[in-house]
Amino acid sequence: MPSTTSIDGVLNLDKPLGMTSMEVVRQVKRLTGQRHTGHGGTLDPGATGVLPIFLGQATRLMEYLLEGEKEYVGTVRLGVATDTFDAEGQVTSQRDSSGVTREMVEEALEEFRGVILQTPPMYSALKRQGKRLYDLARQGVEVEREPRKVEVSRMELMEWRPPDMVLSIQCSRGAYIRSLAHDLGGILGCGGHLAALRRTRSGVFRIDAAVPLEGLGEAGEGGGWERYLLPVDFPVLHLKSVTLNPGEERMVRNGQGVRLSPHTHSSEHGEGCRAYSLDGRFVAVVRFNRPLRLWEPRKVFQLAAPSPYVREGSLV
């Protein structure tokens, strides 16, 4: 039976092919009985892989995951371009790609490494004057899109089996892998589209630890889905941690800044720190206010159980 009490934590799911991210969220809601639920970054229906699902108080940390780096394995098919830049769209052009060599591909990939300007595809969830771009695209309307800066820290050729290539990609938030595939085909002069995509990492969530949605459902039938639940603080394990004494904990819970240790004042902790009580409960994410020289609460949590991660990355 689904739980009737509020449960806080994160599920690292392996999204199956053919489902939208919101359909996965709806299935998790039905399975767990948890209403306050969200996902940590959209995957298209044609993509699979890491899709963290946040429950209860953990939903307040989704922004940290959305800002984090992602890793993908993508298959690009040369010679065929589509209007959606992936296999779901209508074919817009077909050209002979037999002249493309591995050396040409390796040279073209150089254009996509580092900070680049990328124009978002029309088939995307971005809005223009209150309307989703994909809704406009389905009406046959194309509007000008402003190129955006994205960072591709890795784009490597894993396999070359013409007309397909398999790429390993690590990139920042906002990068469209479909657009990378489309633009790569353009540089090679034959067109191309994203034939398959698998997200292998999103922030601290990795595919080797992800649970298939089917497996979660099977565990849920016996009421055992909670064994896959990760603690609320798991998405922010990249932050250092500090321990609050009872007085500091009380001040943080009341929204007040605290001084903490002078060792935590360096600029490298600009994103903030994880703050814990003496008994190991995750209390808050705090951020240093340099002019006031105080650590101020940014997100405060009311959790009963101690976290197993209290000492990881500790500053004290």
Residue 96 appears among annotated catalytic residues: no
The one catalytic residue in 44, 83, 86, 233 is 44
CA atoms within 13 A on the CB side of 77: 16
- Tell me the catalytic residues: 44
